[in-house]
Copies of this chain bind each other. A is one copy, B any other.
Amino acid sequence: MVESSEAGDLVFRALADPTRRRMIERLSQRECTVGELAEPLDMSLAGASKHVGVLEQAGILVREKRGRERVCILRPGGLIAMRDWVARYSAFWDARLESLDRALREDGDE
């Protein structure tokens, strides 16, 4: 792999894992402690903690110490790199969707 060191790269890599996407889903409803995130996941607390660490390093959430608990809070804007990237290619799609016949040559079957 090529190391890339781009900031957005951490976001893309963080989101590649379905478990972490479930965590984000959950956190978009309400703040959760690490334990609350781990509970529905059939996973050890330490495992969940590592996932939270990945999300934190990607700038997607922050961990806030409250007593002996760590409350995870989604950072609005943490996914901006990805939104921008997607927006960029949305423009591409919109342009191409006007000439569907060519681009969708073999697209009808899936």
Chain A residues with a Cβ under 8 A of chain B: 1-2, 4, 6, 9, 12-13, 15-19, 21, 24, 28, 59, 62, 64, 73-77, 79, 82-83, 85-86, 89-90, 92-93, 96-97, 100, 103-107, 110
Extra 16 A-B pairs, beta carbons < 8 Å, given A1-B19, A79-B93, A86-B86: A1-B18, A2-B18, A4-B18, A12-B21, A15-B16, A16-B16, A62-B106, A64-B106, A75-B103, A75-B104, A75-B107, A76-B97, A76-B103, A77-B93, A77-B97, A79-B89
Closest chain B residue to A84, Cβ basis: B86
Closest chain B residue to A93, Cβ basis: B76
Docked pose: A97 CA to B1 CA in angstroms: 36
Closest chain B residue to A16, Cβ basis: B16
The reply to whether A16 and B12 form a contact with Cβ atoms under 8 Å apart is yes
A86-B79 CB under 8 A given contacts A13-B16, A73-B103: yes
Which of A17, A82, A86 is the most central at the interface, judged by chain B CB atoms within 10 Å of its CB? A86
